Structure 1
Amino acid sequence: MTMYLVGPPPEDPHEQNPDGQTIPDNSAHDPYAELAVLAAMMHDRDIIGDVCAIIKLRDLYKPVHQKIFSAIVRLFAAGKPTDPISVCDELGRSGDLAGAGGPAFVHHCADAMPVGAVAEYFAEIVHAKAVLRRLVESGMRIVDMGRKGEGDVAELVDAAQKELFEVADQQADEEIVLVADAMEGHLDEMQARADRENKLVGIPTGFADLDELTGGLRRGQMIVIAARPAMGKSTLAIDIVREVTIRQKLPMVIFSLEMQRGEILDRIISAEARVPLHHIRSGNMTDDDWTKVARVMPKITEAPMYIDSSSHLTGMDIRTKARRLSQKHKLGGIVIDYLQLMNSGGSKAENRQLEVSDISRGSKTLAKELDCPVIALSQLNRGPEQRTDKRPVVSDLRESGSIEQDADMVILIHREDAYEKESPRAGEADLIVGKNRNGPTPTITVAFQGHLSRFVDMTRDEPN
């Protein structure tokens, strides 16, 4: 595409790299593309929204271009004209006119209009240059970290990986948004929620009452499933993974420090095929069992379900592997089984409670960074055994109160028949919502089918 300018680009009175780094001009920015974008925005305000969907203020390399871009966006947001005269007036009001090169520079930018240009095309060029620039800058910071060698090596590697991930992730650094600017889009989302048949905002868990309460698993949330040993916390997590990956077709990954890959696969097959788990583990499979397994194997093998049962997984290991997987697939969720079996992977904490606190905070940070729900399993201390009714409470979370603080939701599992074999509630389980940042904290009753390694709704059974 040919661009015609009225003369060469004027001398920028503030020509410099905004970050003070030494970066070759040909890799740092394209001044003609930046001028073309500004010219198009001043000539046609209808394309401003499309341009802003591609580039942000920081994507422009030159400070003078940033000031002009910012003035145009302010005028657009206020419903005012964005022609060069209006832009100069806006820059004068904000005290940025001299810093933007003065009226002559603004008018010259407006004259840099490509013949037959498509504004989005030049915006893509500006954005691509910005990504390359951030890549170089991140590389410089990584080199500087390596040369200084300050701190724990594992922490330095994690910091370096995060630098590169944020370059690739378009959502890694969202700009501050004025509420008034964001409200229109948010009202559209509210209307979309009201129009949905199932009213779910997040990802379905497969449990009707839990979904009705929570609206589904929300991206960026940390959900803690906690219980005493053998209550079924891993089973509940796998039930959710089956729903998300097999029926919703969204990728999820299980990081298991408790079970081997084969054990997890046995549970998945048992639950999906409705074949008793002890038949699978003992090898005493009937012809009917094999028929059921054959019927469900295609949908299991086609599910975007990932399992990592590496021994000695650390918090840093999980972050690194999850980032890599997220770059290939938009994750629907992450399961960590379970928090107390992990170590932070960084420098040695003063005590175990502080280390678990670091792991908990890291899990919440990971949920926000990858924009997906993180389901973290946790052990409870012996508090329930010391109470008459044996029901767990959030304060029973083992080794760290920060787990409760970091979590957006805490679900505690209680089964009466685990303590009283003759209980009239045999086969029932209570999902006690001990914390819900976005709603009430009721108790939801589900059926526990231990022989099939699964929980199901009380009022319905899942079809094959």
Structure 2
Amino acid sequence: MNAFDPDIRAQQSDGARAASTEAETAVLGACLTATPAYDPVAAAASVLSDGGDWFRPHHETIWRAVLALHGQSKPTGVPMVEAELRRSGDLERIGGAVRLSEIAAQACTSVEAAHYAELVHGYARLRRYQQALARGMQAARQTDPAAVTDAITAHQAELEHLAADQSIDKGLFERFGDGLQQHLDSLETTVEAAAVTGLTDLDQALKMQPGNVVVVAGRPAMGKSAMTLGIALANAHSGRTTLVHSLEMGRSEVTNRVLANRARVNLHRLMEGGPAVTDHDWTRIALRLPDLSALPLWMDYTPRVTPGLVRTRIKALTRQTGQAPVVILDYVQLMYTDQRTPRQSPYERVSEVSRELKIIAEETGAVIICCAHLNRGSEHREGKKPQVSDLRDSGQLEQDASGIVLLHREDAYEPDSPRAGESDLILAKNRNGPTCSITVAHQFHYSRLRDMTRSTELEV
């Protein structure tokens, strides 16, 4: 090493930061001395992230050249890597052919490559952890007292993401046959859906499984909140841990809707309060109070909800109950991103939120059900029926969702329609089953949707 070494500063600070340059050299050396009999590149690549795991910049450059050759099924020995670096103009920057030979001379054995790669990755995670803590301290010094909660939530989201360590997906990359018998054994048992809607025909078609994101969309006053709140109550009533993020309605409004739904008390009377609530109403509410108090139903009325906050709430409930929750988000276009970028367009913001929610669902095993608004496209269409392309602000929602339910009511446009009191649930996308249209009854005075058969039954 000399004063002209491009990484002299990195080497001098090696002792001050978490790194093992010896492990990095050992892994790269193994790749530079690979033989057809054993491929250490694949073993190392299964552990190391695509970029950023290397402490020394010239090690990162060499690794990218190795990956480029390996991806083309070419040898990764010193001559080939030297030629690749010369082609990209990076050879002199990494120290020339002499440096490559020095690294090759310090190679670990081929069977040790993965172990040393894990050490390199572990140190990289430790550095990211240190950097996250430093950013947290900087944010703490600069945060306004009124924004402390937002700052903590953003920092917590960053740490949660770091803890997930998405670069190592052990168990997700395997030979097809390795898990085949286990899957065949699982087919002998009926798999219960991870979440239900409480509507018989919709549950038959829409099988919501862990990791699914389902979008419930419609124009204003179509019953999105009534439907998703009904889904929350159906799941909580069945014993499933359920979480509702209400971004549009406050505690009082949501509580009145729950009481109207479960106690069958007119919502308008509850909203008015006082003498409008009759003795009969109070009797019905009193009968339902024990059940409502015992429901595994959690409400979050936080006005500024980000994917990071959703992840935090899910993990907290999972630890508390031992069960990944069913999550209701009302509604997705009101959510913020964790980055809080002021110049983000609505399209970019909703797209980022959608991608993050999909990742969160897959990470945690939760089922996430999002309300979403539609644009005015359906109102200029004959029949007024909505389509998936009407989703407002982002096509990413359509891509990420496992299922999309579009709500439509004829009587919203034609008060004298013979289908007054009916709602169409258009299952426009369904990865786990068929697409179809299901008719239910809306009872908005009770803030709920009901199966057509059940809506005609006498309820006491």
- Quick one: which amino acid aligns to residue 161 of structure 2? K
Q: Does 1:238 align with 2:220?
A: no
Distance 1:188 1:201, change over 3 A: farther
- Quick one: which amino acid aligns to residue 258 of structure 1? E
Partner Cα separation in structure 2 for residue 205 and residue 232 of structure 1: 14
Identify the residue that residue 91 of structure 2 maps to in structure 1.
none
Q: Is the 8 A contact 1:165 1:323 kept in 2?
A: no
1:333 pairs, out of 299, 315, 326, with 326
1:190 pairs, out of 187, 191, 204, with 187
Identify the residue that residue 159 of structure 1 maps to in structure 2.
158
Identify the residue that residue 73 of structure 1 maps to in structure 2.
none
- Quick one: which amino acid aligns to residue 177 of structure 1? E
Partner Cα separation in structure 1 for residue 242 and residue 126 of structure 2: 30
Unaligned runs of 5+ in 1: 1-18, 23-56, 59-95, 101-133, 194-198
Q: How does 1:115-194 map to 2 (within 5 A)?
A: 141-147=128-134, 157-164=156-163, 174-193=171-190
Partner Cα separation in structure 1 for residue 169 and residue 229 of structure 2: 29
Q: Secondary structure at the match of 1:432?
A: strand
Q: Is the 8 A contact 1:316 1:346 kept in 2?
A: no
Distance 1:266 1:350, change over 3 A: closer
Partner Cα separation in structure 2 for residue 98 and residue 371 of structure 1: 37
Identify the residue that residue 407 of structure 2 maps to in structure 1.
413
Question: TM-score under structure 1 normalisation?
Answer: 0.65
Partner Cα separation in structure 2 for residue 393 and residue 213 of structure 1: 19
Partner Cα separation in structure 1 for residue 375 and residue 278 of structure 2: 40
Distance 1:381 1:143, change over 3 A: same
Q: Does 1:370 align with 2:367?
A: no
Distance 1:420 1:151, change over 3 A: farther
- Displacement of 1:384 in angstroms is 1.4
Partner Cα separation in structure 2 for residue 444 and residue 381 of structure 1: 22
- Displacement of 1:343 in angstroms is 1.9
- Displacement of 1:148 in angstroms is 7.2
Distance 1:144 1:21, change over 3 A: farther
Distance 1:322 1:166, change over 3 A: farther
- Displacement of 1:97 in angstroms is 10
Identify the residue that residue 301 of structure 2 maps to in structure 1.
309
- Displacement of 1:226 in angstroms is 0.3
Q: Does 1:454 align with 2:460?
A: no
- Displacement of 1:156 in angstroms is 5.8
Partner Cα separation in structure 2 for residue 98 and residue 279 of structure 1: 75
Alpha-carbon RMSD: 3.2
1:209 pairs, out of 195, 201, 216, with 201
- Quick one: which amino acid aligns to residue 187 of structure 1? L
Identify the residue that residue 289 of structure 1 maps to in structure 2.
281
Identify the residue that residue 292 of structure 2 maps to in structure 1.
300
* Residues 353-385 of structure 1: per-residue CA shift (max 9 Å, x gap): 111100111111111111011001100001111
Q: Does 1:266 align with 2:256?
A: yes
Identify the residue that residue 435 of structure 1 maps to in structure 2.
429
Identify the residue that residue 119 of structure 1 maps to in structure 2.
none
Partner Cα separation in structure 2 for residue 183 and residue 308 of structure 1: 41
Q: Secondary structure at the match of 2:304?
A: coil
Q: How does 1:6-25 map to 2 (within 5 A)?
A: none
Partner Cα separation in structure 2 for residue 173 and residue 263 of structure 1: 45
Matched residue count: 332
Q: Secondary structure at the match of 2:372?
A: strand
Unaligned runs of 5+ in 2: 1-17, 22-45, 48-107, 113-120, 140-150
* Residues 66-105 of structure 1: per-residue CA shift (max 9 Å, x gap): xxxxxxxxxxxxxxxxxxxxxxxxxxxxxx99948xxxxx
Q: Is the 8 A contact 2:326 2:366 kept in 1?
A: yes
- Quick one: which amino acid aligns to residue 162 of structure 1? H
Q: Secondary structure at the match of 2:453?
A: coil
Q: Secondary structure at the match of 2:429?
A: strand
Q: Is the 8 A contact 1:270 1:452 kept in 2?
A: yes
Q: Secondary structure at the match of 2:438?
A: strand
Partner Cα separation in structure 2 for residue 342 and residue 151 of structure 1: 25
Distance 1:263 1:350, change over 3 A: closer
Q: Is the 8 A contact 2:427 2:436 kept in 1?
A: yes
Question: TM-score under structure 2 normalisation?
Answer: 0.66
- Displacement of 1:408 in angstroms is 0.8
- Displacement of 1:439 in angstroms is 2.2
Partner Cα separation in structure 2 for residue 402 and residue 99 of structure 1: 43
Q: Does 1:352 align with 2:346?
A: yes
Partner Cα separation in structure 2 for residue 147 and residue 320 of structure 1: 21
Partner Cα separation in structure 2 for residue 224 and residue 151 of structure 1: 38
Distance 1:303 1:174, change over 3 A: farther
Partner Cα separation in structure 1 for residue 325 and residue 128 of structure 2: 31
1:343 pairs, out of 336, 354, 379, with 336
Q: Is the 8 A contact 1:200 1:212 kept in 2?
A: no
